[in-house]
Structure 1
Amino acid sequence: MKKFDAIIIGSGQAGTPLAFRLAKVGMKVALIEKEHLGGTCVNDGCTPTKAYVASARRMWDAMHGAELGVSIPAGAKADLKKIKTRKDSLVKTSVDGIKQGIQESEKLTLLEGEAKFIDQKTLEVNGDKLTAELIYINVGARPASPEIFADVHHLTNKSILKLETVPTHLIIIGASYIGLEFGQMFRRFGSKVTIIEQGDHIIHKEDEEVSNAIREFLAEEGVKFKMNSKVTQAKNTKGGIQLTLETNGKASKVSGSHLLLAVGRKPNSDLLNLEKTGLKPDKKGFIPVDDYLETSVKGIFALGDCNGKGAFTHTAYNDYEIIAQNSFDGKDRKVSDRITTYGLYIDPPLGRAGLTIREAKEKGYKVKIAHKPMDEIARAKEKGETKGFMSVLIDADTDKILGASILGVGGDEIISGILNVMYSQQPYTVIRDSVVPHPTVAELIPTMLGDLK
């Protein structure tokens, strides 16, 4: 039996920094990783996909120079092999940095293999048993694959990043964040793209205005949508795959060279033998935790995607901060302190913070709304990027900001300024009365907030 002060299962965006922090204060730490250091964000998520988004943007620039008076010779072509090579280099740099940090730490032991619980405080990895009073589960999640697609060739958000040639026709199941990002980037790379969605609007968690606007400008780029459509049959063909759809009671078929499943993710909690600990995941597979990320078993914590408290890199990293600062810095940080925020990295991007209009109304708030179309903003017009809008929700009783959607050029960056005011618990008038540099897209936020409805 190998004894440690702490065991961390998974080297994602919560587990890795926590391992280094625990080692720094002198604890003997085992870090277990079954696949690749850095977790989803570094290897299959943020880093590689945003590298692809950047390449797709270059393609868009090459095709739209004439709109700004720049003549670009015809013939721009995406070289997916080179795009992948650049992505692989970025990923390798990050992973190598983590490896080097582990090698330089005398207190850190990396165990490469799959961890399974034997009892509440004992794990087995590659036949070795190890124990610790503190165990941190950071096992992340994996792409969901419905049974109907089990026997057909399909891609996930992981495997699509291994392609070296651009698909002729990429069919995507699921019109949410992953499906939309890949749909736009591969359309820009040169693929024909069809997105199939069971619901009546895309990214159903967003307000309808956001969903409709995004669908409209993706359609303008040539992305095809099949809404209210359920796949009833899937089969391999000589040229790729063929799906049979049921749309509003009518059957149809769609064929493509490649199929991407973007129908959600499944927590990896089912791989741990959690029954040996007495822990019971919820119906979706998430491990229940309290406000301090501790499970019902004292000394066992769940961080990142597997706890259901957020499926983002920034929420996983905040989980690390909660554990580390409460343990060593005398803080009292809680999961419930954080405000929901994220980006959708289509182009132009969506920056989101706080509540949607629908959520605010469901919670009983009386709201005021500030709204400004991007085509009324001078900087957006000068850049030739006028799609989208800005919207901010105000609590009519307290004048505090409840939420915001910035869909348009710079939206993923601009949202942070609004988020900072929300965290400071200050009224919206702090922004309304501020002096913002000109010419910027953000300068119209004070003007917008001066005209609430």
Structure 2
Amino acid sequence: MRLKTGASGFMLKAMNEFDYDVIVVGGGSGGYAAARTAANADLRTAVVEGGKEVGGLCILRGCMPTKALLYAAEVKHLAEHPAAWGIQSGKVSFDFAKVMARKDALIKEFADYRAQQLSENTFTFIRAQASFVDAHTITLSTGEKLRARNFVISTGSVVAPSPLPFLSKLDYLTSDEALMLKKLPKSLIILGGGSVAVEFAQFFARFDVKVTLIQRSPHVLHEFDTDTSEVLEKVFKREGMTVYTNTTLTDAWQTNGLKGVSFLHEAKEVRVEAEEVLYALGRVPNTKSLNLDKAGVEVEDRRIIANEEMQTSAKHIYAAGDCTGPYEIVHIAVMQGEAAGHNIAFPDKPRRMDYRLVNSVVFTEPQVAMVALTEKEALRQNIPYRAASYPFADHGKSMIMEAKDGFVKLLANPETGEIIGGCCVGPVGGELIHEIIAAMYKRMTVKELAAMPHYHPTLAEIWTYPAEELALEIQPSPVELTDRQKALS
């Protein structure tokens, strides 16, 4: 199906002409951003979307549905544990069908709005699968062929296939399927310890499912610092989950209505069984069916290789979002899409991606968030730093909230005091980290952050404590201060 929008219409063209200035393959967040940017620059633009649903991963299977479910789980958890505030409650019951129905209604609203944006904008929206015939031509599942001067590929990602052959013995759930469950299993094994795995683990556990989480690395959330991961592991165990880390899966089976896996842990074989197994070991770029070799686009393990201008090895073809990376985060996909659209329209004024402020949020409770460097990454890159942290257990507002797990941490340049990284594991960490993003955007020092007024009692004022500690440790020389002042003027 083709939805026609804008004033350009459909014109018969000679075989050697282009149908469009830009064709964007994929209508998710990155693709929509690229198309909107190109169309606003008066380029004849089309979006080709072949998915059964419109909206992209974030809306349909990622950010929005999982956070809707996690918030429901948090409300239930708070209702079940009010004693700290002198409040009594009986047994809290729930209707899982209504929990899922609310999630579905929210997602439909978001997806309908994205479909409206795609069909009512100043570009053409085409519902079909696409693959390349040559560097300037795609063929559609409708049988039509389209030619374009430029392309943006933004096809997202799909659930990664299992690298372990024995897991094929299991009829396991993927993260996509877990979001569509009609009823809760009584018990669940989760394979993986990344953000998808831990978010699902806490959701199911708080809805009374017996959860066993099995992670290969020494800690969950291995991209974060160990002190951060340990806080989440402690909370998970306190809430009744069984957590195994530093494991090696060895076998799987399915019998008598149960599904099981065996693995090595602390030099011993462990066998666990549950009603369901959730495979949460990541996603891979959705590029397999695009025939990118015919377009001259280089890939590495299905991931499109692109430079900082989002340009691929075929100079007229750009990429954005999860199909290219290096970060599978929706706001980065949007920025990449905007950069790609801009660079096609204005090649003499290129816009380059800057990942200095890359940030990440995991929506467990406590939430886990970071921006820029962790200590682990600073050490890996041999970047000198000073670090200081402060616990929520000793902070006024979090004590009032009975939200005492975790801490905030700042990393600073040991010579200038400029903030080069931040981490928060604690209440609304995903909101609190934005103070450090803003500070780093303006290249503030820890001294400047410490001097910035903060209202009391608030959660945000906790950042002043590690900032003050580092400001006392780091005393830039007058020459350095003068140079900095000149740079900022």
TM-score between the two structures when normalised by the length of structure 2: 0.88
Structure 1 position 327, deviation (Å): 5.5
- State the percentage of identical aligned residues: 29
Instruction: Give, in whole Å, the separation in 2 of the partners of 1:267 and 1:323.
Output: 18
Is 1:387 the counterpart of 2:402? The answer is no
Q: Which amino acid in 1 is paired with 2:208?
A: G
Instruction: Give, in whole Å, the separation in 2 of the partners of 1:377 and 1:322.
Output: 41
Counterparts of 1:84-163 in structure 2 under 5 Å? 84-105=100-121, 107-126=122-141, 127-146=143-162, 147-163=165-181
In terms of mean alpha carbon deviation, does 143-152 or 252-261 score higher? Answer: 143-152
2:251 pairs with one of 227, 233, 244: 233
Structure 1 position 30, deviation (Å): 2.1
Is 1:279 the counterpart of 2:294? The answer is no
Instruction: Give, in whole Å, the separation in 2 of the partners of 1:103 and 1:308.
Output: 27
In terms of mean alpha carbon deviation, does 142-151 or 7-16 score higher? Answer: 142-151
Aligned to 2:240: 222
The alignment's C-alpha RMSD in Å is 1.8
Q: Which amino acid in 1 is paired with 2:109?
A: T
Q: Which amino acid in 2 is paired with 1:46?
A: C
Counterparts of 1:161-200 in structure 2 under 5 Å? 161-200=179-218
Does the CA-based 8 Å contact 1:144-1:264 persist in structure 2?
yes
Aligned to 2:385: 367
Q: Which amino acid in 1 is paired with 2:94?
A: A
Does the CA-based 8 Å contact 1:292-1:333 persist in structure 2?
yes
Does the CA-based 8 Å contact 2:310-2:320 persist in structure 1?
yes
Instruction: Give, in whole Å, the separation in 2 of the partners of 1:233 and 1:152.
Output: 10
Partner of 1:359: helix, strand, or coil? Answer: helix
Is 1:312 the counterpart of 2:320? The answer is no
1:269 pairs with one of 274, 279, 287: 287
Q: What whole-Å deviation, never above 9, does each CA across 1:292-321 have from its counterpart, x for those lacking one?
A: 000011110010011122110111011123
Does the CA-based 8 Å contact 1:201-1:227 persist in structure 2?
yes
2:86 pairs with one of 28, 45, 69: 69
Does the CA-based 8 Å contact 2:173-2:278 persist in structure 1?
yes
Q: What whole-Å deviation, never above 9, does each CA across 1:133-190 have from its counterpart, x for those lacking one?
A: 1100001111113133224111111110000211111110001111000000110011
Change (3 A) 1:125 1:328: closer
Does the CA-based 8 Å contact 1:360-1:402 persist in structure 2?
no
Instruction: Give, in whole Å, the separation in 1 of the partners of 2:57 and 2:124.
Output: 21
Is 1:60 the counterpart of 2:60? The answer is no
Q: Which amino acid in 2 is paired with 1:95?
A: A
Structure 1 position 251, deviation (Å): 2.1
Structure 1 position 337, deviation (Å): 4.9
1:20 pairs with one of 19, 26, 36: 36
Change (3 A) 1:231 1:392: same
Partner of 1:133: helix, strand, or coil? Answer: strand
Change (3 A) 1:102 1:315: closer
Aligned to 1:44: 61
Is 1:407 the counterpart of 2:425? The answer is yes
Partner of 1:297: helix, strand, or coil? Answer: coil
- May I ask how many residue pairs the two structures share in their alignment? 450
Partner of 1:77: helix, strand, or coil? Answer: coil
Instruction: Give, in whole Å, the separation in 2 of the partners of 1:415 and 1:227.
Output: 27
Deviating beyond 6 angstroms after TM superposition, the runs of 4 or more aligned structure 1 residues are none
Instruction: Give, in whole Å, the separation in 2 of the partners of 1:242 and 1:132.
Output: 51
Partner of 1:347: helix, strand, or coil? Answer: coil
Instruction: Give, in whole Å, the separation in 2 of the partners of 1:375 and 1:296.
Output: 51
Partner of 2:155: helix, strand, or coil? Answer: coil
Does the CA-based 8 Å contact 1:197-1:228 persist in structure 2?
yes
Instruction: Give, in whole Å, the separation in 1 of the partners of 2:119 and 2:414.
Output: 55
Aligned to 1:321: 338
Q: What whole-Å deviation, never above 9, does each CA across 1:194-227 have from its counterpart, x for those lacking one?
A: 0011122111111110111111111111111122
1:253 pairs with one of 268, 271, 278: 271
5+ unaligned residues in a row in structure 1: which ranges?
A: none
5+ unaligned residues in a row in structure 2: which ranges?
A: 1-14, 474-489
Instruction: Give, in whole Å, the separation in 2 of the partners of 1:212 and 1:242.
Output: 26
Instruction: Give, in whole Å, the separation in 2 of the partners of 1:363 and 1:185.
Output: 35
Q: Which amino acid in 1 is paired with 2:327?
A: G
Change (3 A) 1:11 1:151: farther
| Greater C-alpha Rg | 2
Aligned to 2:416: 398
Q: Which amino acid in 1 is paired with 2:181?
A: L
Structure 1 position 27, deviation (Å): 2.9
